Amino acid sequence: MNKKIPSNSLVTINKERVATQLRELAEQVESGAISCYELKQTDSSVTFTVDSANGQERMINHQDHIPGLRREQIEHIQKQSPQQRRELVKTLVAENMPQTEIAKRTMTSQKTISNDIRRLKNDGVL
């Protein structure tokens, strides 16, 4: 027997997930564990970006919900020294990641990433 999933069930699943994550986020804000956060939602995805209170760590939780498939990706990021950051930039550039996304994953500005890429190119690494 094939059961047809109602067309609005994706939205319901999304809303339930978001509500749970917002409750967890509120608890962390109240306890002082996080200082900055961002929530982005589309029809088929939800992304939470949360920074630690000391500004040294970031967590990005991205979830895609499409009929028949639910994907979740969680990234834990730590602020790094410039040398370590440039190594990470080199890796992310090789993955064709845009500079704005690299900036999010290195906890820096897009301008810093642009400067890092220029330096890596001048050093013959890129």
- Say which range, 55-59, 95-99, 107-111, has the weakest mean pLDDT: 55-59
43-75 per-position pLDDT tens digit: 888 898 999 989 999 999 998 888 889 899 999
What ranges make up the beta strands (E) of 4-93?
34-41, 45-52, 57-66, 69-78
Cα-based angle 33, 19, 73 (whole degrees, multiple of 5): 70
How much is the pLDDT for 13?
53
What is the Cα–Cα distance from 65 to 62, expressed in whole angstroms? 10
2-34 per-position pLDDT tens digit: 333 344 444 445 677 778 878 888 888 888 888
**What are the CA-CA distances from residue 48 to residues 57, 63, 66, 82, 100 (Å)?**
14, 9, 18, 26, 16
DSSP state of 35: E
How much is the pLDDT for 14?
64
CB 87 within 8 A of CB 105: no
DSSP state of 42: -
How much is the pLDDT for 25?
81
How much is the pLDDT for 106?
97
Residue type, 95: E
**94: which 2 tokens?**
């090789």
DSSP state of 55: S
**45: which 2 tokens?**
């995805």
Between 33 and 100, the higher pLDDT residue:
100
Task: Lay out the sheet containing 57-66: strands in order across.
Answer: 34-41, 45-52, 57-66, 69-78
How much is the pLDDT for 32?
83
Reply yes or no on whether the pLDDT at 122 is more than 60: yes
